[in-house]
Structures are given as structure tokens and as C-alpha cells.
Chain A
Amino acid sequence: MNWSLLWAQLFNGLTLGALLVLVAMGLTIIFGALGVINFAHGAFYMVGAYAAYIAYTATYSFVISIVAGAAVAMLLGLIIERGLIRYYYKRPHEDQILVTFGIGIIIVEAVRAFFGGIAKRVPVPTWGEGAVNLGFLYYPTYRIEVLGIVGAALVILYVVLYRTRIGLIVRAGIEDQLMVNILGINVTRTFLVVFGLGSMAAGFAGVVNSPIVTVNPEMGALVLVQSFVVIVIGGVGSFWGAVVGGLIAGEILSLTAMIEPAYSQVMLFAAMAVVLILRPQGLFGVQGRQ
């Protein structure tokens, strides 16, 4: 057994998992508060990465890139919620899925039309170059920093969800959407804020991940599917479900890749199937919620 390889893969799984947590968290809060599952979520992730690419080539500052990626994704989310999604709150879930799927196609194709289908690269920021000696392992500095950045973002999200008025409404909405509406809360503004926040989470994850992966118009599709798996494993509408589900997904992907790379993606879906059989509502899901 190659211990340093195992450690490296464990860390890789952690980094990948943390990013999945962030994307899935965006998806799950939008669903919780609005009742809409956003099939364009992967596209927001991709838009974040492209915004970072543009900002980086213009300014060579990674911090500005992060801000730009998150802001552009959020802005796009706000525009789409006001322009289209809000007309769908009273329509069947199927229609909501269809329209967000269509929006996803338009965003991806628009990006392809402007930037072409060829992959772009965002370099690792200067403060993330090289590797760190952890004693048992030399590990790329940037990936360790990703853990810190994503962790900080999750703490902020946690505070927003559990310590603010908006967060209370979102969590109440996850429990009982109808009741929140009946209580006369200004849902219009809350919905807008939550959709922007969820989109921003996806865009932010896209920026942070851009130096690790290649940036191309299709990069969001796989992340969307993986964050669905995270949600199914963790349980819809659960903060800790998304965290645990995301980390499990990351570790499954990277540890299987070490043993038998061909099966790494397949194993993730197999894990989802097992959860579905044993605990259909997900690890942290509440039974009875649809």
C-alpha cells in the first residue's frame, strides 16, 4: 500500500467534496425556499469560471477574479429570477424543471458562441503555487487553500441560514412552504435574494475550481449531475446532508480513482443507488417530505 498516494487521494477527495458541497448547497437552498430545482445550476457554475477567466486575463488578480465570478453568477441569477423563474412558482414542478433546463441550454450556448468551445485555463494564483509539506505528504498549496476558502464560504452560508431572518425563512420554507406563504412574509424579495445567493454559491465554486480543472462551456453538466447525487445521498433541504453528502461523494470519486480509475464515476452512482434502496429520503432527509 502506498500511504502517501492514499493520503493524497484522501485530500483530493476532500477538495473535490468541498466544492461539491458548495454547489449542492446552492441547489438545496434554492429548492428549499422556492420549491424549484434549478437545472441551470451547472450553467451558473460554468459562468462563474468564465467570469474568473476574463477577470484574470484583464487584471491578473485572483482575488478580483473570485469577486467577479461570484458577482456575475449572482447577477445572472437575479436577472433570471426576475425575468422568468418568478412566473413559474405557481406552475407544476415539471414546468419549472423544463424552463431551468432550457435556460441552462441558452447560457451554455451563449458562452460557447462568445468564447468558442475550446477549453480555457486559469492559472493557479501566485499565493497558491508550489506544494506544502504536511509531514506525511507534499500537497499542492492551492488545494489546501481551496479547503480553507470553501470552508469559510460554508461558514458564512451557515451563519446566513441559521442566524439571519432570511435564513429562518429559508429553513421554514424547507419545512413547510405553504405555511410560510400564508404567514404573509414578503416572499418576493426573499425568493430573489435566495436565488441570487444560490447562484452565487455555484459561481463561487466555479471560480475556485477554475485553476484545478479546465474551463469549457460543458464543465457545468457533470457538476450538476454530481450535486444531484450529493443531494440524494444527503437528503434534500438539509445543510448537514449537503455537507456530508458532498464529502462522501468527493471521497468516493477520488478513492475509487486510486483503485480502479475506470469505475470512479460509476461508483458514485452506485452509492446513490444503495442510499435509495436503504434510505430513500437520504441520510439526513426527513421521511414523509415528498
Chain B
Amino acid sequence: MLRFGADRGLGRWLPEIASIIGLIVFPLLFPIIGGTFDMMDRILIWGLFGFGFDILFGFTGLLAFGQAAFYGIGGFTTAYLLINGYLTNALVALAGGTILASVFGVIIGLLSLRRSGIYFAMLTLAFGEMFYFLDLSPLRNITGGENGLSGVPAADLFFKIEVRTPEEMYWLIAVLFFVGFLLARRIIKSSFGAVLVAIRDNVDRVGVLGHDVQKYKLTAFVIAAAYGGLAGGLLGLFQGYMPPDAFYLETSGQLVVQTIMGGAGTLIGPTIGAGIWIYLRSALQQFDGIGSLWKMILGIVFVLIVTLFRKGICGGISQLWNRVTGSTVSRQTAVVPSAESLANETAMLPTAAIRNRSALTGSVILETKDVVKRYGGLTAVDSVSFQLIEGEIRALIGPNGAGKTTFFNMLAGTIPVTEGEIHFAGEHITHLGSTAVCQRGLAKSFQINQLFPSLSVRDNIRIPALARRYGKFNPSMLRDVEFDDDICRAVDDAIAAVQLTGRADVRAGELAYGEKRRLEIGLALATKPRVLLLDEPTAGMSPSERTETVQLLKRIAAGITIVIVEHDMDVVFGLADRVTVFFNGRKIAEDSPEAIQANPEVRAAYLGSPVKK
């Protein structure tokens, strides 16, 4: 089922059109409440700075505290080039500053992204401070140290147009702001942007699904650096003076505060936040006694917003809008597919699902040789050799703690192997890691759901589909992912295969448990694997859900090889061609289901009765 619902008309350009109108109306309305062109210029510069930061923080979830570095690098480079006459064209100088900021973005990004979470925040803050100190003393001959660089000439554009006053500057900044907004929107709506949002939601799963997370993170970091560099360059150009405080920690902090106040993950949020910051600072100056407290008041507002209103102003407005119009996700939650529609979906699936059970004569697709996993003194998996024939369904059983999941995780590359080798389709994959293993066609669904809870079912499934279609890194940022028909088709197919078509626009976090389980399988399935590893797919399901899931797995198995870890013996004997039994980290038996049922050693392992020899 293809989805042609996506709006290909003018409607999807609404934010862009609104931003043009906003930029034209702003200078007409803002002066009414006492705004000046100077303030407007600053707001837009901060907004431009914020586009990049929002892509990094709001969309990718990386809280960076050192953006001042790029603002300063871009600013001082642009100012230096113009003041010393190396360049006369302001736009070229801005490009120079942006490029240098991006180069440093690569370096700092590579270092800071070696750690994640809070460490990333600490590291970016520290590296940001490093540039402040570089500016202050070692580079003072270039940057002017604490004096900054004064005498930046009026912006000279192409066609001998010169921009001098704040009012003229406004239109130059507005044009660049609009271009920046346009690009940021393209990036967010592209397949690249889709992966960024998934990283924010569940970074580990993105990697396991075959995406090179580090490359995506680094690219987002460099994009943010580039926006920072451009914004810094404009600051020097507009003031005629490049101040050293561009490098201050407070600059990074102000960016974070503005983004949160305006609303992270909305692109326009940081601009709104900047408007509040700059307007409030100027407005509060009018009052004696309060003027000096403006920053403390902003700090209190910030803490309140973080505590009670984390989505910020724009996030809150869009939430309110959705509630009023009743559109999108919240209404669709109520649509539960009827039994008939489910039956229809099932009927539409390919009927090649009837397997030829006797066809187990294919080649070996997955093989382990004496694989061992040790945790200190504990041997979780003890020299297991295992062969999987292309096309079969293999069940892996054994009591709790037998090492099944550990073995699975080694196969999928999510934990390192202590000893031994793993070969997949003739290739040695032991130390490749989960991303590369998934790219080669070996996918795993988890025992505990690893979904992207804030994304819709469709957006969830899109992540593995993108990895399959475009490889582990796809830097294409300008094409709207919703209009990528290949991807849409692959996504719709995978959603239909796990019977979630009626729920495609519901957020994964709002699904019922059984649906979440099916989505979990769907994520692995959408990578179009040659071998699918299923870790207890029916865990926690009701008996009727189990029966449905078994039917579903039988259909899925049409084209692929499956290994399934399962405790429910009805599921195991209903599905498997062969069964492998684990006990205390070792493989103790491997045979047809019937033979395994009769095997005394297996019974002993499960029931603890003595083995009579």
C-alpha cells in the first residue's frame, strides 16, 4: 500500500512562506513595542546560530555547551579577512568564516563525540573554553585579545551594493536567515534528518539497525558549527566590531537558554527565545532597580521553563494547536483496526508463505567456530560451534542463564567475542560490530523492546529501511524523505508484514504491548535481513497473541532464515525445523524437534532429573 497522503502541494511550504511574511512584517510591528533595527539584527543572528544548534540539540539530542567556539571562529575569521583587505566581498568573507568554523567543528566533534551524554556536554564546554583562552593570549596578534577586532568595513556585496546601517543590515541578515531556515528545514525533512531524530530517541538501536551513528552525530555537529560560524561573521559585520565575548562561555549558555525557552526541536524556537532575551534585556533596563536584575529574572524564567514547560514556547503552541484542531497523532490513536481489516491485511500478503520443509539442503549461511564469551571468571558461552543452513528456522532453547541471549548478542555484534570466530555468508564477521553486521544482512530483534518511542510506527520502520536502501551513512540532505517512493514502499510492506498498517501513524510509545512486540520484529525485518535473529518474540504475550505471532513468523519466514530464542515450547515446536539446546553456556544437543523432545539430556537440563547412562 503506497501512501500518497503526504502533501506535495503548497501546504508543505507553509513554514517557509510564514517565515518570509514574518521577516517582512517584523520591522513593521516590532518598533511598536519599542524594538529597534539593532535588536532585530541581533535576534536574527542568534536565530541563525540557533538553527544549527537546534539540529544538534533539539533534533539529535546532543547538548553541546561550547558553541561559542564556532561563533567566535567564524566571526574573527570574517572580520580578520575584511579588515586586513584579504577579501573585499563580505559574502565571500562570511563563507570563509563558515568554512573555518566547520573545519574546527570536525576536529572538536571528533574529540567530544568520543563520549556521550553528560560527558559530551562537559567536553564541549571545556573545548569551548579552550578557544576563549586561545583567543585571549596565544592568538592575540590576530584576534586583538580582550580588545577584539574593530574597524570591520561596511559589508560590500556583489554588484557594488554596500550595506551600512542596521536597517540595511537587517535585509542582508534576513535573506541569510531565510536561506538558513530553508536549508535547516530541508535537512530535518531529509532521510538524514530522520536518522538524527531516531538517534535522539534511541541511539543504540540506530546503530544496531545498520546506521553509522558516529558519522551522523559528527555531521550534525559540523552543521551546527557552520551555522555558528556564519552567525558570528554576521555579528562582526553588523557591529563593525568583533567582540571577544563571542568566545565567552556565556555565549554558549545564552544559546542554550534561548533554545530551551523558545522550544527545542522546532527550528524557529531559538529565534523566539532570542527575541525574548534581547527584548527583555532592553525593556527591563527602563525600570530602575530591576534593570540590573534582568539576567537573574531570565535565569528564573529559564529554570521554570525547564522544570514545568520543557517543550518551550513553540513546542507548547504546536501542542496546543494539535489539541485544538484534533489533528495528527492524538486522534489516530483512537483508530484500532477491526478484526476484519486485520484479516484483509493478512489476505493481501503474499501466499508464498507455505514453506517447503524438506528443502534444508541449502548451503551454510551462518557458522560459529568455538565461540567463547567470558565475563571475568564467568564463562557465559563456552566454545559453541554452530551451523545454520540457509532457509531454515532454527530454535535456540535452554533454561534461563544458559547463554542463549549472550550467544545471540555475539552473533549480532552487539557484544565483543572473547574467543572463536563467526562467519556469515562466507565472510569473517567476528569483530565487525553490530552496524556492519546488520548491513551485511544479519538483523536481530530484542527481548526487551528497543523502539523509538516518540516516533510514529511509520517513522520507526523508516530507520531500518533507510539503512537497507542507502547504506550506513547517507549524507543526502535535500530530498524530502516522505517523497522517497522506494522507502515509502519498503516501509509500507514491512508495516503490513507485522500487521500494523492501521496503526502506522501512532507513536510507538502509545502502542499496546503486543503491537510494540510486533513493531520490534518489524524493525529487524525492515532491514531485509538474510538471517533474522529473534530473541523471545512472544515474551509477555497472551496465548492468543502468541498464536497470531507464530502465524506472522511463519509468513515472514518465506524468504529468510530465522533463529529464534524462545521459552514457549508450543511456539518452538510449531515453528522450528531444527532445535539447538544450550545448557550452562554449552551446546548440549541439536536435532529435529521430535528428537529433541525425546532427548534425555535435554530433559535433565530442564527438569534436573539425573541422566541414566
Among A98, A110, A261, chain B packs the most CB atoms within 10 A around the CB of A98
Asked if B129 CB lies within 8 Å of chain A CBs, one says yes
Do residues A225 and B293 form an inter-chain contact, with CB atoms below 8 A? no
A280 to chain B: which residues have CB within 8 Å? 114-115
B119 to chain A: which residues have CB within 8 Å? 232, 236
Chain B's nearest CB lies how many Å from the CB of A232?
7
Q: A98-B256, A269-B129, A290-B117 are in contact. Are A110 and B296 (CB under 8 A)?
A: yes
Interface stretch (choices A49-57, A89-97, A166-174): A89-97
Do residues B137 and A101 form an inter-chain contact, with CB atoms below 8 A? no
B65 to chain A: which residues have CB within 8 Å? 101
Do residues A102 and B302 form an inter-chain contact, with CB atoms below 8 A? yes
Closest to B134 in A: A266
> Chain A 264-290, CB within 8 Å of chain B: the 1/0 string?
011001101100110010000000001
Closest to A273 in B: B111
Chain A's nearest CB lies how many Å from the CB of B149?
18
Do residues A109 and B307 form an inter-chain contact, with CB atoms below 8 A? no
How many residues in B have their beta carbons less than 8 Å from beta carbons of A?
40
Do residues A272 and B126 form an inter-chain contact, with CB atoms below 8 A? yes
Do residues B295 and A105 form an inter-chain contact, with CB atoms below 8 A? yes
What separation, in Å, do the CA atoms of A67 and B122 have in the docked complex? Answer: 31
Asked if B292 CB lies within 8 Å of chain A CBs, one says yes
Q: Which of B115, B117, B130, B137 contacts A93 (CB 8 A)?
A: B117
Closest to B112 in A: A276
**For chain A, which range describes its interface: under 10, 10 to 19, 20 to 34, or 35 or more residues?**
35 or more
Asked if A16 CB lies within 8 Å of chain B CBs, one says no
A8 to chain B: which residues have CB within 8 Å? none
Chain B's nearest CB lies how many Å from the CB of A81?
14
A66 to chain B: which residues have CB within 8 Å? none
Asked if A204 CB lies within 8 Å of chain B CBs, one says no
How many CB-defined contacts (below 8 Å) exist between A and B? 107
Asked if A201 CB lies within 8 Å of chain B CBs, one says no
Do residues B63 and A94 form an inter-chain contact, with CB atoms below 8 A? yes
What separation, in Å, do the CA atoms of A228 and B120 have in the docked complex? Answer: 11
What separation, in Å, do the CA atoms of A228 and B118 have in the docked complex? Answer: 11
Closest to A35 in B: B118
Asked if B92 CB lies within 8 Å of chain A CBs, one says no
Closest to B300 in A: A106
Do residues A225 and B125 form an inter-chain contact, with CB atoms below 8 A? yes
Asked if A221 CB lies within 8 Å of chain B CBs, one says yes
B34 to chain A: which residues have CB within 8 Å? none
Do residues A113 and B302 form an inter-chain contact, with CB atoms below 8 A? no
Do residues A225 and B63 form an inter-chain contact, with CB atoms below 8 A? no
Asked if B475 CB lies within 8 Å of chain A CBs, one says no
Do residues A266 and B122 form an inter-chain contact, with CB atoms below 8 A? no
Do residues A263 and B137 form an inter-chain contact, with CB atoms below 8 A? yes
Among B130, B137, B300, chain A packs the most CB atoms within 10 A around the CB of B130
Closest to B259 in A: A98
Asked if A229 CB lies within 8 Å of chain B CBs, one says yes
A270 to chain B: which residues have CB within 8 Å? 130
What separation, in Å, do the CA atoms of A87 and B115 have in the docked complex? Answer: 26
Q: Which of A37, A113, A225, A229 contacts B249 (CB 8 A)?
A: A225
Do residues B299 and A262 form an inter-chain contact, with CB atoms below 8 A? no
Q: Which of A94, A113, A229, A276 contacts B111 (CB 8 A)?
A: A276
Asked if A193 CB lies within 8 Å of chain B CBs, one says no
Do residues A232 and B122 form an inter-chain contact, with CB atoms below 8 A? yes
Q: A102-B257, A228-B122, A232-B126 are in contact. Are A109 and B296 (CB under 8 A)?
A: yes
Chain A's nearest CB lies how many Å from the CB of B547?
35
Chain B, 121-147, CB within 8 A of any chain A CB: 121-123, 125-127, 129-130, 133-134, 137-138, 140
What is A's interface to B at a CB cutoff of 8 Å?
Answer: 31, 37, 84, 87, 93-99, 101-103, 105-106, 109-110, 112-113, 221-222, 225, 228-229, 231-232, 236, 261-263, 265-266, 269-270, 272-273, 276-277, 280, 290
What is B's interface to A at a CB cutoff of 8 Å?
Answer: 61, 63, 65, 111, 114-119, 121-123, 125-127, 129-130, 133-134, 137-138, 140, 249, 253, 256-257, 260, 292-293, 295-296, 298-300, 302-303, 306-307, 310
